[in-house]
Amino acid sequence: TAYLAVSILHDAGVPRTALQLLPGGGDIGAALTADPRVGGVAFTGSTATALRIRASMAAHCTPGTPLIAETGGLNAMIVDSTALPEQAVQSIIESAFQSAGQRCSALRCLYIQEDIAESFTQMLIGAMQALRLGVPWDLSTDVGPVIDETARAGIAAHIARARQEGRVLAELGTPQDGTFIAPTLIKLSGIDQLEHEIFGPVLHMVTFKSHELDAVIDAINATGYGLTFGLHTRIDDRVQHVSDRIEAGNIYINRNQIGAIVGSQPFGGEGLSGTGPKAGGPMYLTRFAAPDRQTHTAQWDAPSPTLPPLPQDAPAGIHSETLPGPTGESNRLSTLPRAALLCAGPGADAAAAQARAVTALGGHAVAATGRITPQDLTDGPGYGGVLWWGDEATGRAIEQALAARKGPIIPLIPGAPDAARVRAERHVCVDTTASGGNAALLGAAT
């Protein structure tokens, strides 16, 4: 499909010198991202690979070269006791098993309120048993193979460990030929048991008590991933509460959590799930332009004794807009300030100008009070970005220190920041036809 798309673009007049398709097994990508001539990288894949690309660019590319990374997620869904079970089961089947679970947005960990867990699990297993594995060319096929034998073996080993521990609740039969993994349901005590993303048709299930909802949200946020999230409930206040607290780029209410539509549901995560801006969103295209670069020759009089801390209790400053979508669906895109950006100068005047640029875009800034030591950034505060308008050697040292960090990718900003560097995006999609019944009475009873 990539070859066909590129061929059509060439036929339409896009110069071959401007667009090439270079399939490879990682070797070509590694070479390209280590080439100092590269002016920017857009990557979709695993978090681990994105971090390797980040380190390679820090070593070879001009400091501040843009990286757009859309990576994976330990995507969760919460189903409470008021949810419509048939609708929730359909959403779960679609989210976990379509495309054999090979979507970065796919559901990985399902939280079911224990009051309905027994009957709901029976219904879910029944729906799983109706799935048909086979060749994807056939319209009757629901679940095809995973991409290759390496992927199959890794997923199979994960299932085998769970089976040995008695945690496999249901699994289908697997065809004799091909790299198939049967849809599988595995019991967990919490999402923290998932050490990494299982990229296939494997769903993990956890039960929770009604009073544990906030603890569940905390556990999901604590993974550090924030790509997609799903919620099934008929209580409006709960929708608002969970949407406000969950840290994910795309939040889906009373529907599946895959298949984002450009223009209606701009797509992309936060934390370990990506750098932003959202694909298909209003701030995306400008990231493909050459970054603004400013050079200040001023120097700090003395080194900064410590890196400035992140401010506590910074105002939220959330801005929202309604996006177009089909009848019966609400789509709202919000922006909120990222973690405070470090304004590193050089010099007090440059740091002050950087802070003004950040706050003018609705963000939070902290200014260095002297010359920073780049190596301190490897373990320092989790800034939303670092602005440096000085010499390239120091910029590269800052870039490499940031690339050595564990956790989310923190960018070096070599000039005036764009809005997407200062503010993060979150999208909430609600199936407004799904309330069913008297939700006000349900809310009063829980």
Q: Compute, in degrees rounded to 10, the torsion defined by CA atoms 403, 404, 408, 411.
A: -30
CA distance 394 to 388: 9
- Residue pair 432/329 in contact (Cβ under 8 Å)? The answer is yes
Give me the active site residues, please.
70, 104
Cα atoms in the Cβ-side hemisphere of radius 13 Å centred on 306? 5
CA distance 169 to 159: 11
The residues near 433 (Cβ < 8 Å, ≥ 6 apart) are 328
Among the listed residues 136, 143, 59, the one whose alpha carbon sits nearest the alpha carbon of residue 400: 59
Any idea which residue has 């379509």 for tokens?
98
What is the b/e burial string over 252-275, where b = at least 16 CB atoms within 10 angstroms of the residue's CB? bbbbbbbebbeebbbbbbbbbbbb
Q: What are phi and psi of 201, to 5 degrees?
A: -80, 60
- Residue pair 346/296 in contact (Cβ under 8 Å)? The answer is yes
